[in-house]
């Protein structure tokens, strides 16, 4: 089942490392999760993420720092709201460069326990 898929688990745990108030791109998450070239799989994994894990899916956006959902859609509005609650404001559907997550690799690898 999807909730036990090892690819998905890796993705969820990686997304869990994004601190509040910061954002990362799908491709970045894929890379950090050890799944280069699988940005699209990240989106799918987030859609299947069990809510008990409380995966901060809203902190993941496209490489150009825009939301992945159509502007005005319910999901987009929800994501926007969640981000603003964390202090991440969107200018014209884009977040500021300062809000990009720049993880410390050593620390990240330690937390993910590869």
Q: Which residues bind DNA (CB under 7 A)?
A: 2, 5, 7, 25-28, 37-44, 46-47, 49, 57-58, 60, 62-64, 68-69, 75, 79, 92
Closer to DNA at the Cβ: 20 or 110? 20
Closer to DNA at the Cβ: 47 or 110? 47
> From the CB of 21, what's the least distance to DNA, in Å?
17
Phi/psi region, residue 96 (left: phi>0; alpha: psi -120 to 50; beta: rest), is beta
Distance CA 41, CA 47 (A): 10
Please tell me what DSSP assigns to residue 19.
P
Count of H-run helices and E-run strands, the chain:
5, 4
Closer to DNA at the Cβ: 22 or 38? 38
């Amino acid at each position: 089942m999807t909730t036990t898929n090892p690819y998905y688990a890796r993705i969820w745990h990686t997304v869990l490392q994004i601190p509040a108030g910061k954002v990362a791109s799908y491709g970045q998450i894929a890379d950090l999760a050890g799944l280069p070239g699988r940005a699209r799989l990240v989106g799918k994994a987030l859609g299947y993420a069990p809510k008990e894990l409380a995966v901060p899916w809203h902190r993941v956006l496209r490489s150009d720092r825009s939301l992945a959902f159509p502007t005005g859609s319910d999901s987009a509005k929800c994501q926007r709201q969640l981000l603003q609650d964390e202090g991440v404001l969107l200018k014209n559907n884009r977040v500021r460069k300062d809000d990009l997550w720049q993880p410390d690799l050593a620390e990240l690898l330690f937390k993910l326990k590869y």
